[in-house]
Amino acid sequence: MAIEVITREDLNEFRTLLLADLSEMFNSKPQQQKQWLKSTEVRKLLNISPGTLQNLRINGTLSYTKIGGIIYYAYSDLMKVLEENKVDATVTLFNPKWLVR
């Protein structure tokens, strides 16, 4: 049975390599988003039902392209709709009534 001794230098080298690997992971370019998404992908992305997606198409909220029987949505259109409907948070201070006298 062989015993290996781990020194502080070994741990420091391991730490440096680990930090370099983590930094590379976090700073790497994210995976390219597909330009066109099918209905199932849009429903998963937005966590909505087929009926809700249909309503978004019918009322003109979300533009689409239909080729054959397949409906496609532009990813940029989805992001634009989300951005247009974004509600900014308002800053409020926690002020419970029982503390105020």
At residue 89, the pLDDT reads: 77
SS3 25: helix
Residue 95 pLDDT greater than 80, yes or no: no
Residue 91 pLDDT greater than 80, yes or no: no
At residue 87, the pLDDT reads: 87
Token pair, residue 15, equals 């730490």
Question: What whole-number distance in Å separates Cα of residue 14 and Cα of residue 46?
Answer: 41
pLDDT, tens digit, 9 for 90 and up, residues 54-75: 999 999 999 999 999 999 999 9
Who's near 61: CB < 8 A, 6+ residues apart? Answer: 55, 81
